[in-house]
């Protein structure tokens, strides 16, 4: 696969998506590792889908060799998320690389807006997501040829068209979503059958877990991501990680992952 010619890369990513569709998860990761040249980065939020991917990457002995596992440590995560992080590294003998906010940006935001200033306006919330998530993600993906995520089409209506692979022209890499066609039930079954460590908040009404001040438990019957930025209107919910990128499953103005 060549990433120097965007049109060719787009076509090749589409072909890769077709080939991935017929494979099981280990075979998908094997094909990705062979077909996508250069550095591969998997960004995990330590949520349950990402734990399935971490398990599969570790068992395939791709962690730290072919695929770097990275997380965006916003500094505002739940204690349970940090416990999951520790437990995961111990279970698989891996290291999850942390990308943290720039100190000057964090200090300036807290000085201007207050420690929980992200509640003051959509703009302030997006600024917080910007320096805590979007900017560190850019550093995590710097020079990467492929970006693996745990996005699933079934997570929300906004993600219904999530592809297994697509060329991200803005970042100049291939975005890979090896669980795009998995259901939540299949994720849960995989975790149970394979004793995958997972965040205990999932057992307490948190199907989707982000920063602690911006995530609540959902009520019975609510969508999986209803507990994220619940005080905002649906069309304002986005943090910029998966937004507005060609080939991304989420479009501008819609919610985003992590
Ligand atoms: Fe800030 Fe909340 Fe976004 Fe986390 S989810 S980066 S605390 S606004």
Question: CA-CA distance, 52 to 46, in Å (whole number)?
Answer: 10
Closest residue (by CA) to atom 4 of ligand 1? 211
The answer, yes or no, to whether any atom of ligand 1 lies below 6 A from the CB of 227, is: no
Q: Ligand 1 center to residue 128 CA distance, Å?
A: 6
The predicted structure's pLDDT at residue 238: 59
Taking the CA of residue 214 as reference, the ligand 1 atom at the shortest distance is 2
Short-list 108, 192, 107, CA closest to 202 = 192
6-201, CATH topology level: Rossmann fold (3.40.50)
Ligand 1 centre distance from Cα of residue 240 (Å): 11
Annotated binding site: 128-129, 211, 214
Phi and psi, residue 179, nearest 5°: -105, 15
pLDDT value at position 234? Answer: 67
pLDDT reported for residue 237: 63
Strand partners for 98? 71
| pLDDT on residue 250 | 33
List the binding residues for [4Fe-4S] cluster: 128-129, 211, 214
Ranges of beta strands (E only) in 144-256 are 144-148, 165-168, 173-176
| Nearest-atom index, ligand 1, CA of 132 | 6
First to last CA, the chain: 28
Residue with tokens 């072909």: 15
Mutate to test the pocket of ligand 1, among 213, 216, 237 (most ligand atoms within 8 A of CB): 213
Q: Is the CB of 96 within 6 Å of ligand 1?
A: no
Please count the other Cβ atoms lying within 10 Å of the Cβ belonging to residue 166. Answer: 24
Residue 200 three-state SS: helix
pLDDT of residue 242: 76
Distances (CA, A) of 164 to 16, 17, 60, 153: 8, 5, 19, 10
Check pocket membership of 77 for ligand 1, CB cut-off 6 A.
no
| Residue 210 in contact with ligand 1 by CB distance below 6 A | yes
Q: Could you tell me the CA-to-CA distances from 83 to 64, 86, 198, 228 in Å, in that order?
A: 21, 5, 9, 21
Q: What pLDDT is stored for residue 4 in this prediction?
A: 76
Q: pLDDT at position 235, please?
A: 61
Q: Which residues are catalytic?
A: 239
Domain locations in the chain as residue ranges: 6-201
- Find the 132 Cα to ligand 1 centroid distance in Å: 7
Cβ pair 165, 9 in contact under 8 A? no
ipTM of the complex: 0.99
pLDDT in tens, the chain (258 residues): 767 788 899 999 999 999 999 999 999 999 999 999 899 999 999 999 999 999 999 999 998 889 999 999 999 999 999 999 999 999 999 999 999 999 999 999 999 999 999 999 999 999 999 999 999 999 999 999 999 999 999 988 888 999 999 999 999 999 999 999 999 999 999 999 999 999 999 999 999 999 999 999 998 888 888 888 888 866 666 566 776 543 333 332 333 344
Q: Is the CB of 128 under 6 A from ligand 1?
A: yes
The runs of H, that is alpha helices, within 60-113 are 79-92, 103-113
């Amino acid at each position: 696969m060549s990433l120097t010619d965007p049109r060719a890369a787009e076509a090749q990513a589409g072909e890769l998506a077709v080939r991935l569709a017929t494979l099981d998860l280990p075979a998908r990761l094997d094909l990705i590792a062979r077909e996508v040249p250069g550095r591969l980065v998997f960004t995990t939020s330590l949520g349950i889908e990402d734990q399935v991917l971490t398990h599969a990457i570790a068992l395939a002995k791709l962690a730290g060799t072919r695929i770097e596992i990275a997380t965006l440590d916003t500094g505002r995560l739940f204690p349970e998320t940090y416990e999951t992080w520790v437990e995961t590294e111990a279970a698989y003998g891996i290291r999850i690389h942390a990308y943290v906010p720039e100190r000057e940006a964090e200090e300036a935001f807290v000085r201007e807006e207050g420690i929980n200033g992200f509640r003051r306006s959509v703009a302030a919330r997006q600024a917080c997501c910007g320096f805590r998530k979007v900017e560190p993600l850019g550093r995590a993906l710097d020079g990467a040829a492929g970006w693996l995520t745990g996005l699933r089409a079934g997570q929300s209506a906004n993600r219904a068209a999530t592809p297994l692979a697509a060329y991200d022209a803005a970042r100049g890499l291939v975005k890979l979503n090896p669980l795009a066609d998995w259901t939540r039930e299949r994720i849960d079954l995989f975790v149970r059958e394979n004793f995958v460590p997972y965040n205990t908040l999932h057992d307490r009404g948190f199907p989707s877990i982000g920063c602690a001040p911006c995530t609540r438990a959902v009520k019975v019957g609510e969508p999986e991501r209803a507990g994220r930025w619940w005080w905002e209107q649906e069309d304002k919910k986005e943090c910029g990680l998966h937004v507005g990128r060609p080939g991304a499953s989420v479009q501008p103005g819609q919610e985003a992952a992590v």
